[in-house]
Structure 1
Amino acid sequence: MPYVSINERVRLYYEEKGEGPPLLFIHPPGLGHIIFRQQEPLARHFRLILYDMRGNGRSSPSDIPITVPLLADDVSILLRSLGVRRAIICGYSNGGSIALEFALRYPQHVEQLVLIGGFPEVCTPLLYGEFWLGILASKLGAFSLLSSALAIGHGTNRRERKLFKQYVRLADKQDLDTTYRAGLVYCCTEQLASLRLPLLLIYGARDRYIHAYIAMFRHYVPHANIVLIDRARHQIPTKHSGELNHILRVYGRR
């Protein structure tokens, strides 16, 4: 199985398919690279790169406490190890925070930044509550409940829900807790104004608790393109994969 070594103790599992402009997906805590299984047809148009962040899926547990900058640095090492100088960076949900941090730290390596249901900070009550549910589930040992909730929320059929649930359970419990905590305190809102690279924001039209962040992006990054997917809530990669893949083909080739 393909791995990239971050150091002597941490290795990241990754998969890559296809040829063309590199397109890297960053998943939210727990779900791993398999949350983007329905984006695999994009390998006909891009060099598709999927990976498990440290402490998730088939990757190693972290050797130090997890922070968003640490996870962004991991992305830098992964891309450098794969010989990728510039890539389209696509982050989903809290994976978008890692994508944002990577773009702020390494703008020279970003061809385009894409956020699916992304946010620069956690400042709305519903989103705050979701993070704390993840923290409490990890801390109190309710791992089965958390894996079931993530699987039910994202799966489109019984087989897919079973696959997601099994993969979430591969995550290191301590790392999952610290990753949720890192995402909860992360904030780059005032740094958004420094983004000069192309930014595409994709939201579900019914993902109401995320829409407050659209105003933030419009204020700090007025050149951003914003796309709303009709009838969609938050789980766009799995439940609205056709629309998402079409949007990425159109904007990724510009």
Structure 2
Amino acid sequence: MPYAKIDESLSLYYYTKGQGLPIVFIHPFVMGHNVFMHQESLAENYRLIFYDLAGHGQSTNGDTSLTIELLANHLKILLDHLEVEKAVICGYSHGGLIAQEFALQYPERTSALILAGGYSELNNFTPKFFIKSVMYMAKFRQIPLAAKLQAKLNKYFPEDEQKIYEYAKHTDAERAYEFCKTGLRYKSTYSLYRLKMPILLVYGDLEKPMHHYRLPFEKAAPQTQVVFVEKGTHQVPPQFFMEFNAAVNGFLKPYN
């Protein structure tokens, strides 16, 4: 199996498919790279890079507590390992925080930024409540319960639920807790003006509590494009994959 050695204690599992403009996909907490299983059809036009964050999926746990900044550095080392000089960085939900931080730290390595259900900081009740609930499960070593919840929320076909659950249940409780916690504290709102690359934000039409998160991006980075998926929920990449993939194709067509 392909692994990238990040340091003496950490190796990240990754999976690549296709040729062309590289796109890296970053998953949320208590999941793994297979939440993007329905994005694999994009390999017809792009080089897709999927990987498991530290303490998730088939990656090792590592010895260092997770922060968003550290997770962005892990991605940089992974791209160095793959000899990818520049890539489109695509983050889903909490994974979008890593994508933003990578784009801020390494703008010269970022072709474009895509965020599905993304935010530069968490400032309203609904997402905070969900994240704190997962933190509670992780604290009391109830990762299988959190994995079941994530699998149920992110399935499209009935068989997707089992696939996501079987992978997510291997998440390390401590690393999941740290990823949730560091994301709650993260704030890039006042740094967004530094993002000069093309940006695409994708939200489900029905995830109303998340829609205001587009406003700081539109104000600070006027090149930002926003797509609302009709009847979509927060789980756009796995549940509304045809619309999401079409949005990605349309956005990246001028650059591929």
- TM-score w.r.t. the length of structure 1 is 0.98
Distance in 2 (alpha carbons) for counterparts of 1:23 and 1:244:
14
CA distance in 1, matches of 2:136, 2:17: 36
- What is the aligned length? 254
The one-letter amino acid of 2:221's match is: V
SS of structure 1 residue aligned to 2:218: helix
What is the CA distance between 1:141 and its match in structure 2? 2.4
Q: Give the match for residue 20 of structure 2.
A: 20
Please identify, of 101-110 and 220-229, the stretch whose mean Cα deviation from structure 2 is larger: 220-229
CA distance in 2, matches of 1:242, 1:88: 19
Give yes or no for contact 2:55–2:175 (8 Å, CA) kept in 1: yes
Shift of 1:250: 1.6
Contact 2:30 2:146 in 1 (8 A): no
Q: How far did residue 198 of structure 1 move?
A: 0.8
Tell me the CA shift for residue 220 of structure 1: 1.8
Which one is further off, 142-151 or 44-53? 142-151
Cα deviation for residue 55 of structure 1 reads: 0.6
Once residues 166 and 191 of structure 2 are traced to their aligned partners in structure 1, the CA distance between those partners, rounded to angstroms, is 37
2:159 aligns with 159
Structure 1 counterpart of 2:59: 59
Aligned Cα RMSD in Å? 0.9
In the alignment, which residue of structure 2 is the partner of 1:45? 45
- Please give the secondary structure, in 2, of the residue aligned with 1:6: strand
Give the secondary-structure state (helix, strand or coil) at the position aligned to 2:145. helix
Question: Which residue of structure 2 aligns with residue 104 of structure 1?
Answer: 104
Aligned position for 2:125: 125
**AA aligned opposite 1:141:** R
Structure 2 stretches lacking a partner, 5+ long: none
Tell me the residue number matched to 2:78: 78
Shift of 1:162: 1.0
The alpha carbon displacement at 1:158 in A equals 2.8
Could you tell me how far 1:145 is from its partner in structure 2?
1.9
Residue 209 of structure 1 is matched in structure 2 by 209
Instruction: State the TM-score, normalizing by the size of structure 2.
Output: 0.97
Match for residue 235 of structure 2? 235
4+ aligned runs moved over 4 Å, structure 1? none
Q: Residue deviations 1:47-101, cap 9 Å, x none?
A: 0100001110000002111000000000100011101011111000010000000
> Offset of 1:157 from its aligned partner?
3.1
Which consecutive unaligned segments of at least 5 residues does structure 1 have? Answer: none
Amino acid at match of 1:138: A
Distance 1:44 1:63 in 2: 38
Question: Where does residue 91 of structure 1 map in the other structure?
Answer: 91
Secondary structure of 1:211's aligned partner: helix
Cα drift, residue 136 of structure 1: 0.4
Alpha-carbon distance, 1:251 to partner: 1.2
Shift of 1:201: 0.7
Q: Distance in 1 between matches of 2:122 and 2:62?
A: 24
1:217 Cα shift?
A: 1.6
Which residue of structure 2 aligns with residue 219 of structure 1?
219
